[in-house]
Homo-oligomer: A and B are copies of this chain.
Amino acid sequence: MIRIAVDAMGGDNAPGCMIDGAADALKKSEEIELWLVGQRDVCERLLAEKGISDSRLHLVQASEVIATAESPTDAIRKKKDSSMVVGLKMLHSGEADCFVSCGNTGALLVGGQVLAGRLKGVRRSPLATLMPTVAGKSLLLDCGANVDARPTDLVQFARMGSIYMEHVVGVKNPTVGIVNIGAEEEKGNALVRETFPLLKACRDIRFVGSVEARDVPQGGVDVILCEAFVGNVVLKMYEGTAKALLTVMKDSILSSTRGKIGGFLIRPALRGMKHKFSGEEYGGAPMLGLKGLVVKAHGNSTGKEVSTAILQCISFAKADIAGKIEAALAEPAGEETPSV
């Protein structure tokens, strides 16, 4: 049984969507056991209203709630009885293997590192997001956890991302590229230029060089490596541009009768596309390198998305990603080993 703690209170649609997601996931998999962490009375009432009851669904009381706008460090430090803090502590104590939350991202990132604890050898824990691309999907990391990371941190991120991509997503011998402002090795800022030779020398990843931001949506590289500030910009520009383009397109199409009829006819095709680019299919973003798995799902996740995020934990736990990361990082990166 894979034991998953679920933050019942975090996110825009909590606790409703968390409860729906939990119920859906339990229906879809017999390998999981869930702990809904949050205000017990609220959860009990909702479960009763929705007619949900399952012997693999448990409640854990946590009286406080961390809001989206709260300062991450303060929230984690002061709200000791919040659903997020209680849930993360279950990872640390080993009561749970995984923790899924739609709550305050900053707090989850801080709490993940501080409360769940990092694996031996891991200096910083990156947030990784599986992005849909034209060619398939890419794992983008770090997309928000560690601004101003060092070159050696990025090398660890590349190694952890490769393990995740290979053993959870199932991409054999995944390629790794670093986000850069040109294709050549000498291009880039100080961080990228310093990281580049370390990645080239690292023997347990398949480094393919620079990736220009322009080519990220096209896909083709499995692990897209970048510093957290840049990763956040990549992810948010992806989201924002798609949204802006669809808005403008819709306005443009609806401005004439001809366009309106055309728009009606292409609707099924666009639905297919929306599905392709939908976050629902991919679930949440994992934090890598922690004791146990922390999954951050979108703040405005639906029940369906929460369910996907919960189910995603199964392959992570089964593949023993934490164990594999710890084993890999116990070995020095390729460059420190004498070559034969």
* A interface residue numbers (CB < 8 A to B): 71, 106, 133-134, 144, 147-148, 179, 181-182, 186, 188-190, 192, 212-218, 228-230, 232-249, 252-253, 255-256, 258-259, 261-270, 272-273, 276-277
Contact = CB atoms under 8 A, between A and B. Distances in A.
A286 to B, nearest CB: 19
Contact of A265 (B192, B230, B245, B262): B262
A286 B143 CA distance: 31
A118 to B, nearest CB: 21
A244 B181 contact: no
Contacts of A256: 268-269
Given A188-B147, A233-B179, A270 B241 contact: no
A132 to B, nearest CB: 9
A133 B263 contact: no
A190 B148 contact: yes
Given A134-B247, A212-B236, A241 B217 contact: yes
Given A237-B237, A245-B277, A255-B269, 14 more contacts: A147-B181, A147-B190, A181-B236, A189-B229, A214-B237, A217-B241, A233-B233, A233-B234, A234-B237, A241-B242, A248-B273, A252-B270, A262-B265, A265-B265
13 contacts: A106-B182, A134-B247, A212-B236, A213-B236, A214-B237, A233-B237, A241-B241, A249-B270, A252-B276, A253-B270, A258-B268, A261-B265, A265-B265
A76 to B, nearest CB: 15
How many copies of this protein are present in the complex?
A: 2
Given A182-B106, A217-B240, A237-B238, A266 B273 contact: no
Contacts of A190: 147-148
Contacts of A216: 237, 240
Contact of A252 (B218, B230, B234, B273): B273
A213 B243 CA distance: 12
Contacts of A270: 249, 252-253
B228 A181 contact: yes
Given A181-B228, A233-B234, A269-B262, A245 B242 contact: yes
A181 B109 CA distance: 14
A48 to B, nearest CB: 38
Contacts of A228: 181, 189
Contacts of A133: 244
Contacts of A246: 245
B259 A237 contact: no
Contacts of A235: 213
A256 B264 CA distance: 14
Contacts of A253: 266, 269-270
A90 to B, nearest CB: 27
Given A188-B229, A232-B181, A239 B214 contact: yes
Given A179-B233, A228-B181, A230-B233, A259 B248 contact: no
